[in-house]
Amino acid sequence: MDRKLIGIDLDKTTLNDAGKVSDRTRRTLQAAQREGHIVSIVTGRPVRLSMDIYDTLGLQSPMINFNGSLGHKPYQHWDHEYSFNIDREIAFDLLENAQMMGIDTVVAESKNDVWANGNGPQRGTEDAIFFPQDETGRKMLDRLNLQTDVNAILIHAENALHQSQIQHFVTDRYGADRVNVKTWGGESPVLEVAPAGVSKDTGLDVLRKAYDIKRDDIYAFGDEMNDFEMIGYATHGVVMKNGNPELKAIADDMTDCTNEEDGLARYLEKLLKLSL
């Protein structure tokens, strides 16, 4: 069997609803890796919220973070490592205009650092995990501390009603040629400011070239609209049974089971004829 490139989203795809890796998923992905396939996390999460999962899965492949803005191989040098950045001045400008735009928290983040002006959503809410909840490892977002450009900026609005207004304001103010402002969907009052022209397929394409994978051997698994470009790029774009209906409309296939039912693992076991 030819070597496959398997790009896996984390939340609601590889992870169950509790945000954990099941034993079956871990065993399956490790078996795929032993067979020589490239299993790569492709996530919107920052590095700080991905490393525990990477280690639990026992991966040795590169990881794509910030929805495609950063590609690296943890613990190792990788000749193909890359980083797409946003001008730090945008973070400062958002801070200065936060009150006017109904923004209560701005977080700027890069591979190894995070800067924020607050804690973001209340603990226990679904989005809270993505915001630094205490001062451990977090630097105050100001000109003294932030002196480099960043991979991503998260904005937490006062409520979801402000989402589209902020999205249009930020795009118009900084230009669609510089930034892409993405919503997290649903009732989430979170927006992400990303470098223009960068998405998860950016990382998948780098991986394909780095490992010389045939287009027909690319598989991507996801569940939400930040997976849209990746699912479209992959010759085999597979959406989880629990995935967004809009994403299912462009998918090549769908898992028979949800993320709670090890849908990703079951699909790969059948595809790769794995014996665990």
pLDDT tens sequence across 93-118: 999 999 888 898 999 999 999 999 97
Q: Calculate mean pLDDT across residues 30-36.
A: 97
8 Å CB contact between 115 and 106? no
Whether residue 120 has pLDDT greater than 90: no
More confident residue, 1 or 151: 151
* Residue 166 pLDDT: 86
Q: Tell me the domains of the chain and their CATH numbers.
A: 5-83+198-272 (3.40.50.1000), 88-195 (3.30.1240.10)
DSSP 12: I
**Which residues, other chains included, contact 58 with Cβ-Cβ below 8 Å and sequence gap of 6+?**
26, 29, 30, 33
The pair of three-digit structure tokens given for residue 38, joined into one six-digit string: 């490239």
Q: Is pTM beyond 0.75 here?
A: yes
More confident residue, 170 or 21: 21
* Residue 106 pLDDT: 94
Whether residue 137 has pLDDT greater than 80: no
Considering only the C-alpha atoms of the chain, give the largest distance between any 2 of them, rounded to a whole number of Å: 58
The residue with tokens 């991979």 is 151
- Which residue stretches of the chain are H helix? 23-34, 51-57, 88-96, 98-101, 163-174, 200-211, 228-233, 245-248, 263-272
Separation between Cα atoms, residue 11 and residue 164, nearest integer Å = 24
